[in-house]
Structure formats: structure tokens, C-alpha cells
Amino acid sequence: MEQFLLSAQHSGAINHAHTFFLPQSAAELAREVRITVAIVACAWVAVTAIKQFSWRNHGQR
């Protein structure tokens, strides 16, 4: 079990914390999704940069 603590402040002077319990499989899935999104974003940036540089060099020939 993964446990997450979310601190909350509501109107007035009420401060309290919410505790969420997440099953281990859901936490692992969230990590995998985060890593996959990061890899896809990096690949997209790399492909876009390569296209931009190749387009600029192609125009100078």
C-alpha cells in the first residue's frame, strides 16, 4: 500500500490533512504511466528539433 498525505486549508482557520491509500499495483501503474509520458515527450522534442535543424540546413544548400 502506498500512502499519500494531502494537506488542506479551508476557509477560516481550519487546517487538516487527507490521507489516501493506494494499492501497490495502482502506484506501480501510475509510475509506469509517468515514465512513459516522459519518454514520449522527450522523443517528441528530439524529433521536432531534428526536423527544425534539417529544414534549416536544407534551405542553405
Largest CA distance in the chain: 68
Q: Report the C-alpha gap between 54 and 47 in whole angstroms.
A: 10
pLDDT band at 25 (very low <50, low <70, confident <90, very high): confident
Mean pLDDT, rounded, of the chain: 78
Q: For the chain, how many structural domains are there in total?
A: 1
Q: Report the C-alpha gap between 24 and 1 in whole angstroms.
A: 5
Per-residue confidence (pLDDT) for residue 5, from 0 to 100: 64
- Which residue's entry shows cell 509520458? 37
SS3 51: helix
When mean pLDDT is compared across 19-23, 25-29, 42-46, the lowest value belongs to: 19-23
Residue-wise pLDDT for 32-53, tens only, equals 999 999 999 999 999 999 988 8
Report the Cα 59 to chain-centroid distance in Å.
36
Per-residue confidence (pLDDT) for residue 15, from 0 to 100: 67
Q: Which domain holds residue 26?
A: 2-59
> Is there a contact between 38 and 16 (Cβ–Cβ < 8 Å)?
no
